[in-house]
Amino acid sequence: NGEIEFDNVSFSYDDRTTALNGVSFKVPKNSTVALVGESGGGKSTVLRLLYRFYDLGPGQGRILIDGKDIRSVTQKSLRNAIGVVPQDSVLFNTSIKYNIGYGKFGSSDEEIEAAAKSAQMHDRIVGFPQGYETIVGERGVRLSGGEKQRVAIARTLLKNPPILLLDEATSALDTSTERDIQNALQHLMLDRSSLVIAHRLSTIASADIILVLKDGQIIEQGSHKELIAKD
């Protein structure tokens, strides 16, 4: 499970703009699709529609997961099936532990700690004096962008969804943080169907399929090798 299909999807936020215009593609089970293209091309809209931030109306095409129209699936089961790691994670003003465990209600401390370690959090966050029991926000714990992203990664690892939506950070992280997070993200993408708004060359090169979006349409589609051969 985890196969995604966009079938002739068109979408507008308002009367003036067409965010997506007749977009069709498939994410085969356990593969990674990289969304690339200039700003405003429709990349975020693809992710928002799949997560049902917005619903497609009649005549706007269909989005299917494992052959089922997502409009016929309950929000709860959709959210269980999809993990999201946004560019800028917003955390609850509670402990880091709670923020990780929120992905899967009733997780044990051991499960949370294992997820934190897999998200490469052992060095900075689990190593805080009070450990990850530390309150985010209020008691002087200010997490950096990279640390927040690790919390989001750990949360998703714990939830273990078959589908992953990822918006790669464009913000400048220092090189070692960037490498740690990249490793954690690679780990997260293993054995899942992933749709990634890709900014890093390494992510684009390692994706199974690259979709180039421009003005709401797919203007190129193929493996890295195929797209290079076309140039």
Interface residues with ligand ADP (CB under 6 A) are: 13-14, 17, 19, 39-45, 53, 87, 167, 213
Distance between CA atoms of residues 36 and 34, nearest Å: 6
Q: Please report, as a single letter, which amino acid is at residue 104.
A: K
Q: Cα–Cα distances in Å, from 37 out to 10, 44, 128?
A: 18, 11, 39
**Which phi and psi angles does 205 have, rounded to 5°?**
-65, -30
Select 125 or 163, whichever has its Cβ closest to ligand ADP: 163
Q: Least distance from C-beta 157 to ligand ADP, angstroms?
A: 22
Instruction: Give the integer Cα–Cα distance in Å for 33 and 14.
Output: 28
**Using CA atoms, how far apart are residues 53 and 69, in angstroms rounded to an integer?**
15
**Residue 59 C-beta: closest distance to ligand ADP, Å:** 19
Closer to ligand ADP by Cβ: residue 113 or 167: 167
Is 104:159 a contact under the CB 8 Å cutoff? yes
Closest CB 208 distance from ligand ADP, rounded Å: 20
Q: How far is the CB of 79 from ligand ADP (least distance, A)?
A: 13
List the strands of the sheet with 209-214, edge to edge.
82-85, 163-167, 193-197, 32-36, 209-214, 217-222
- Residue linked to tokens 């917003």: 90
Nearer to ligand ADP, 30 or 44 (CB): 44
The distance of closest approach from Cβ of residue 67 to ligand ADP in the complex, given in angstroms and rounded to an integer, is 25
Given the complex with ligand ADP, which of 14 and 138 has the nearer CB atom? 14
For residue 27, give both structure tokens: 């994410």
Query: Which residue number, 30 or 221, has a Cβ lying nearer to ligand ADP?
Result: 221
